[in-house]
Amino acid sequence: MIPIDQLYPVPVFGAVPSLSMTFAESISNPPQLAVKSFAPYKRFAVEIIDDGLDTAGLLSGDYAIFREQGWPNDELQVVCVAFGNNVTIRILEGIQMREPVLRTARDAVREQRHRNDFIVLGVLDGIIKSDFVKFMELEEEAFDWGC
């Protein structure tokens, strides 16, 4: 058992498919996924709800951890993307092109889109397999008004 002081919270912003899109709703006080590694950048997690990226190790029930990043540094990275208010997870191919390809495993979904048609919300930073998912309760700190 890992001591609580060695676990770090990552907010979970719902379930996101890769074979389709879902409407992105704003969540206040999202649940916090417990992860074992500290990161000096902001992260968020989503639950995987289909097997569209199974060859990347993402299976239904797993949680994908994304680092907030505007554009990937390398080819073929898994990204969380937004098309307006709709969100999905895809593999990004051709990052230097004006119209990169967003696809899933085995090209079940493959679409070439202008880079102005979507926003990269984050790049895959890690995976928590469904057997190891643990949530944290964060204690609310009393706010000191300084009076």
Task: Read off the pLDDT of residues 58-97 as tens digits, 9 standing for 90 and up.
Answer: 999 999 999 999 899 999 999 999 999 999 999 999 999 9
Joined together, the tokens standing for residue 93 give: 């191919």
pLDDT at 16: 96
Buried b (16+ CB within 10 A) or exposed e, 57-94: ebeeebbbbbeebeebeeeebbbbbeeeeebbbbbbee
At 130 the three-state DSSP class reads: helix
Q: Average per-residue pLDDT in the chain? A: 91
pLDDT at 145: 57
Closest CA to 69 of 81, 83, 59: 81
User: Which whole number is the average pLDDT over 35-56?
Assistant: 95
Q: How far apart are CA 4 and CA 80, in angstroms?
A: 29
User: Which whole number is the average pLDDT over 34-51?
Assistant: 94
pLDDT at 146: 60
At 25 the three-state DSSP class reads: coil
| pLDDT-derived band at 142, boundaries 50, 70, 90 | low
pLDDT at 27: 85
pLDDT at 19: 96
pLDDT at 5: 66
Percent of the chain with pLDDT over 90: 80
SS3 annotation, 46-74: EEECCCCCHHHCCCCCCEEEEEECCCCCC
For residues 75, 42, 23, 113, the Cα torsion angle rounded to the nearest 10 degrees is: -20
pLDDT at 3 > cutoff 80: no
pLDDT at 13: 94
Domain at 4-135, CATH class: mainly beta
- Please report, for the chain, the start and end positions of each structural domain, with discontinuous segments joined by +: 4-135
Q: How far apart are CA 143 and CA 41, in angstroms?
A: 25
pLDDT at 137: 82
Q: How far apart are CA 7 and CA 5, in angstroms?
A: 6
pLDDT at 2 > cutoff 80: no
